[in-house]
Amino acid sequence: MTPENDAAARYFSAITAALSGLEVFMRDDRSPLYRHGIVAKIVAEYIARLDKSFGCWRNRLGFMDTFRISRAESGFPVFQNLLELENDRRQADSRLANIPLAGELREEMADFILRHKEFPEALQKSMAERLYLEDVKSEQTFGPFTLAQTAKVSVNPKTALPYYLVHWATFDGSANLPLVYMVTVEDSSENMVRQLVDRNGKLNDKVDIPLPVDGLLNPELAHRFDDFTEKNSAYTLSPATIAVNLDKDFEPLHPKQLRRVVLGPFYSAGITDNNSTVTEVLAKVRKPENAWLLTWTIQEVYSKGEKPGRKGLFSSEKTTQEFFINTDDLEAARQGVSSYENHALIPHEAYQALYAAGEAQKIFGGYKVHILSNGQVISDV
């Protein structure tokens, strides 16, 4: 195995372990995030997509020699890898048609070994490409942009307006970071109010809503909403900016809360060099598969009230939200959020190494630390 392949194998083992641990954390009813219920479930679904992508990329190395990550910054793959994965998914069927079936390839490989007494590298690459393409055909990977879904529908008892929990995701090409968005939005469209709200101001139980629904539940706004989210999901935009833009661009939609989950940076010994202190300590961890650290941030902005709209003869103004920015917290103000949480997930062995080196308090200052040990996640350490 070449040094490059060895490094790639270590990276994939580390990131796979990290994502598996994070998914355990998100689905664990004892985890601090589980109090948000559906939020943790939604994030776990996108983590599963990321894990699927990494499985595909690992298979791709069996016939392609290059795989680039953002070593000095996010620790995640560079954006080009996602574009290639998406392109391969679209071409999978046509390419598979030109590759023999797996059973035929195995027979050819066995025959080649018997006749030539050497390993059939060309056939092995064909087999790797077939397995990769069969895997990548699934649409359950984490793409450059994942269209919105409506995950929950209810009625606000105070306003008697229906509201939706809608989520989508993107991989930011500049920061090389996976981003998951969730917004709770009220809908004052006459058609939707008439269909979804009964005489008692509750959700109309006669309307069958097969959740999750692809796109925004309101069909008249769904395409515009998709277009909006694709153009307003960059990491450089603050959650407050995105919420204000959404409030401004859609007359009948009233965003009450917007969350953004930023996955990363990811640190892996001998692979990433995005934090010299972390890198030096992780290098001392005995087992390479435990020499990693995954961080993520949950940002939230919410409406603290509404500015009533007005209708006039020559002009009118829509009802607008007044979003709360916590100016008492300089970091919250800088991020453009009402609140934020920094989290870190680390294997027990790696945490012990950081603690023994006297670096744990400095590195994890301002973070909620979660330790992965024997397939379980221990929080509040």
CB atoms within 10 A of CB 124: 15
Under the banding of pLDDT at 50, 70 and 90, the label for residue 289 is confident
Question: Does residue 354 share a domain with residue 232?
Answer: yes
Are the CB atoms for 144 and 170 separated by under 8 Å? Answer: yes
Domain boundary among 138, 171, 188: 138
Question: Does residue 107 share a domain with residue 256?
Answer: no
Provide the whole-model pTM.
0.92
How many whole angstroms separate alpha carbon 269 and alpha carbon 288? 7
Domain tally, the chain: 2
pLDDT at 315: 53
Cα angle value 71/77/83 (rounded, 5°)? 145
Question: Does residue 110 share a domain with residue 189?
Answer: no
Backbone CA torsion sign across 5, 10, 11, 15:
positive
- 45: in domain: no
Question: Does residue 167 share a domain with residue 120?
Answer: no
- 38: in domain: no
> What pLDDT, in 10s, does the model give residues 120-136?
889 889 998 999 999 89
pLDDT at 250: 96
How many whole angstroms separate alpha carbon 282 and alpha carbon 277? 9
Question: Does residue 98 share a domain with residue 169?
Answer: no
3-state helix, strand, coil in the chain (%, to 5): 40, 25, 30
- Cα separations in angstroms, 127 against 54, 96, 107, 109, 337: 18, 11, 11, 10, 49
Query: Residue 3: pLDDT above 50?
Result: no
In terms of residue numbers, what domain contains 170?
145-379
Question: Does residue 291 share a domain with residue 354?
Answer: yes
How many whole angstroms separate alpha carbon 337 and alpha carbon 102? 52
pLDDT at 255: 97
Question: Does residue 201 share a domain with residue 337?
Answer: yes
Question: Does residue 368 share a domain with residue 246?
Answer: yes
The mean per-residue pLDDT over the stretch 27-45 comes to 76
- 269: in domain: yes
Among 295, 304, 191, 296, residue whose Cα is nearest residue 243: 304
- 332 Cβ neighbours under 8 A, 6+ residues apart: 325, 326, 338, 339, 340
- 57 Cβ neighbours under 8 A, 6+ residues apart: 12, 67, 77, 81, 85
The mean per-residue pLDDT over the stretch 296-302 comes to 96
